[in-house]
A and B are shown apart, each in its own frame.
Chain A
């Protein structure tokens, strides 16, 4: 009991000490706002992301069942969590600190906003402020991205446009875009972030040695990285990688594989040993029966 008490005290003291270290968010990030209004769709999408990426540490919102790490991950409905501005939350999730991982490359910026929209659903007093419209008159909500593969230059060309109120479709200039290749775990940034020119065009140099699947296919994602321009993303699959065939690791017989893939030598050794030993054991059991029978044989003269 005493020991428990002291461990608890220790944890509490350590967490107080660590929580005393304020997580400073730059003023510019703190003031950021979501480019879109939170609605049921965004909350639902955010909830899905939360369940796969955050619940393992933070627990289910409102249940205070976070993993007891030091410092502890706050519950999503806690005062401490909700005291963050939207921008501060977005900054913390993107950059991480200590055990709180950085989701910079694993969750797209717009998806982070969706998680925040989900987190805010646990705060009745929350009133959202949406970001002002992007400059240039184009509607930020409807940016359209077109992707082209320029074979000779070995470049990927992204062209951004959006409808405006009165001038028809306009190119979106000055927006920051990033090119990613999808990998097993998260997205791999290809080339640097680029800004679109006045024609809404950004060019990415594509490396010649990026491994693709067995047919050389690579799944590409181009996404706006400056959320002031809204939520836009384009996926496409192109045969521009180096074809790579990787036999599945569990194809061959191996010590670490499933039982049907046991190495032959082991299978033999084990079977022979087991059958050998149990063969003798069964033989001896039969001998006990033999003893019993021998006791009933009449013509053998009993020694007693």
Chain B
């Protein structure tokens, strides 16, 4: 984001065509109703599953004495991870001055908001007695990384929301008068949310300053959120978790998952809303390069994380690693490493695969692998406690996720998709004013 705005673009004819393009899909369409209906009904089934769990307790899940952190916690880590991409794209790349992130930044921010907002709910799904949630705040100890996590997830959610909302304000004002095809209440909402925006230089000045502060503040916050999430594991002595590189390992893994999610959403927006003028092949090409970069960094951390203990094979560590490399978890472990990391890296090195459709397919595989990767981080460690309970039934020792548990997990994903759909459908998904400003700049340069 530039430090100064040349408001000439407001008088440029191009603004009209850009606004028309971007606002065309906004509003309630038949497709939207069908899609939301589908999501809503599926969600109802998942809410029923949660009702069962609420009524009976965690006994309806596969969680038992040995493995008390299962799918839910893996899902939580996945959500937090995916949401971090907001910081990577708008902040790190934006502040450095990469122009190509402009049309993508809002997409990344929507992903950040949606996943961070539901991450908290995912944690509640892991509570057998959710009505005791207030106790966390009443009796929580700030020595506990769990409290740090609660603090930092909340902060991250607020900053991400502001980073979504602030650059949206000028767009809301621009959209006024161009929204004839949308319902009245939506126009009213725009009016309120536009906070009296008149495109005055002073307003732009305040806006740019506010955005800049948030862009900087979100970097340490995002680092904190995922590092703290990794500490929930790393501060224990258990093999597989007891690692000093868990913070950066989680952080780099987060960028892989998040970049893949952005590509998937870019593809949907581009094809469904016919916005290929704004989300061009060039953008996919750049995202492909970004995905390769973050994947290589993550691969590097993976090698460290598994090779170093694998070289020493300390007794407890060896049991865990053998389980992953050649034991019960080997199939999942190698599938995730190969499909989610090694093969995407190789493919995306070639420009041929950095095209929208192939990027889309690769990103879906990467994102699914990222989910299972979290499961591999969370569950296998608990298979081998240092002090095994003796003479207990087998069902207490092995983790078998149940249907109820899976339905609740799917429900949280549906909620994320619902938030994304609503934000995408009711508000411009690509920053109109930034596109118009950029266009104006290009035009005036070519005139000179």
Binding site for B on A (CB under 8 A): 3, 7, 10-11, 68-71, 98-99, 254-259, 262-263, 266-267, 270, 273-274, 277-278, 280-281, 283-284, 287-288, 290-297, 300-304
Contact yes or no, B148 A270, CB < 8 A: yes
Q: Which residue of A lies closest to B141 (CB)?
A: A259
Contact yes or no, A295 B209, CB < 8 A: no
Q: Which residue of B lies closest to A18 (CB)?
A: B391
Asked if A291 meets B148 with Cβ closer than 8 Å, knowing A270-B142, A281-B159, the reply is: no
Asked if A281 meets B143 with Cβ closer than 8 Å, knowing A291-B195, A303-B199, A304-B198, the reply is: no
Contact yes or no, B214 A295, CB < 8 A: no
B:357-396 near A, CB below 8 Å = 390-395
Contact yes or no, B155 A7, CB < 8 A: no
Contact yes or no, B213 A257, CB < 8 A: no
Contact yes or no, B391 A98, CB < 8 A: yes
* Complex Cα–Cα for A300 and B63 (A): 63
Asked if A303 meets B143 with Cβ closer than 8 Å, knowing A7-B393, A99-B390, A287-B210, the reply is: no
* Complex Cα–Cα for A175 and B158 (A): 77
* Complex Cα–Cα for A291 and B205 (A): 9
Asked if A304 meets B155 with Cβ closer than 8 Å, knowing A257-B143, A277-B217, A295-B195, the reply is: no
**Supplied contacts A258-B141, A287-B210, 14 more A-B pairs, CB within 8 Å:** A10-B394, A256-B143, A259-B139, A262-B143, A267-B142, A270-B151, A277-B155, A284-B162, A284-B210, A288-B166, A291-B197, A293-B196, A295-B198, A303-B10
Classify the secondary structure of B's interface with A.
helix
Q: Which of A10, A69, A254, A291 contacts B206 (CB 8 A)?
A: A291
B:173-209 near A, CB below 8 Å = 195-203, 206-207, 209
| Closest chain B CB from A101 CB (angstroms) | 12
Residues in chain B near residue A7, CB distance under 8 A: 393-395
Contact yes or no, B155 A278, CB < 8 A: yes
Contact yes or no, B196 A292, CB < 8 A: yes
Asked if A3 meets B400 with Cβ closer than 8 Å, knowing A259-B143, A290-B206, A294-B206, the reply is: yes
* Complex Cα–Cα for A232 and B221 (A): 68
Asked if A304 meets B10 with Cβ closer than 8 Å, knowing A70-B392, A270-B148, A295-B200, the reply is: yes
Residues in chain A near residue B196, CB distance under 8 A: 291-296
Q: How many residues of B contact A (CB 8 A)?
A: 41
| Closest chain B CB from A254 CB (angstroms) | 8
Residues in chain B near residue A281, CB distance under 8 A: 155, 158-159, 162, 217
Contact yes or no, B213 A284, CB < 8 A: yes
Is B432 on the interface with A (CB-CB < 8 A)?
no
Binding site for A on B (CB under 8 A): 7, 10, 139-143, 148, 151, 155, 158-159, 162, 166, 169, 195-203, 206-207, 209-210, 213-214, 217, 220-221, 224, 390-395, 400
| Closest chain A CB from B17 CB (angstroms) | 18
| Closest chain A CB from B63 CB (angstroms) | 16
* Complex Cα–Cα for A99 and B162 (A): 58
Q: Which of B142, B143, B224, B393 contacts A68 (CB 8 A)?
A: B393
Asked if A274 meets B213 with Cβ closer than 8 Å, knowing A69-B392, A70-B391, the reply is: no
* Complex Cα–Cα for A129 and B195 (A): 91
Q: Which of A3, A69, A262, A296 contacts B391 (CB 8 A)?
A: A69
Residues in chain B near residue A98, CB distance under 8 A: 391
A to B CB contacts below 8 Å, 18 in the list: A7-B394, A69-B391, A70-B392, A263-B143, A274-B155, A277-B220, A280-B213, A281-B162, A281-B217, A284-B166, A284-B213, A287-B207, A288-B166, A291-B206, A295-B203, A301-B200, A302-B200, A303-B199
Which of the listed residues A98, A255, A256, A290 has the most CB atoms from chain B within 10 Å of its own CB?
A290
The 10 A-B pairs at the shortest CB distance, nearest first, are namely A295-B196, A287-B210, A259-B141, A303-B199, A303-B7, A295-B198, A292-B195, A292-B196, A294-B202, A70-B391
| Closest chain A CB from B300 CB (angstroms) | 29
Residues in chain A near residue B158, CB distance under 8 A: 281
* Complex Cα–Cα for A292 and B155 (A): 24
| Closest chain A CB from B218 CB (angstroms) | 10
Contact yes or no, A303 B210, CB < 8 A: no
* Complex Cα–Cα for A300 and B166 (A): 21
Contact yes or no, B391 A284, CB < 8 A: no
Contact yes or no, B199 A280, CB < 8 A: no
| Closest chain B CB from A291 CB (angstroms) | 5
Asked if A287 meets B199 with Cβ closer than 8 Å, knowing A98-B391, A281-B155, the reply is: no
Contact yes or no, A11 B202, CB < 8 A: no
Contact yes or no, B195 A284, CB < 8 A: no
Residues in chain A near residue B221, CB distance under 8 A: 277
| Closest chain B CB from A300 CB (angstroms) | 5
| Closest chain A CB from B156 CB (angstroms) | 9
Residues in chain A near residue B166, CB distance under 8 A: 284, 288
Residues in chain B near residue A303, CB distance under 8 A: 7, 10, 198-201
* Complex Cα–Cα for A149 and B131 (A): 58
* Complex Cα–Cα for A203 and B158 (A): 75
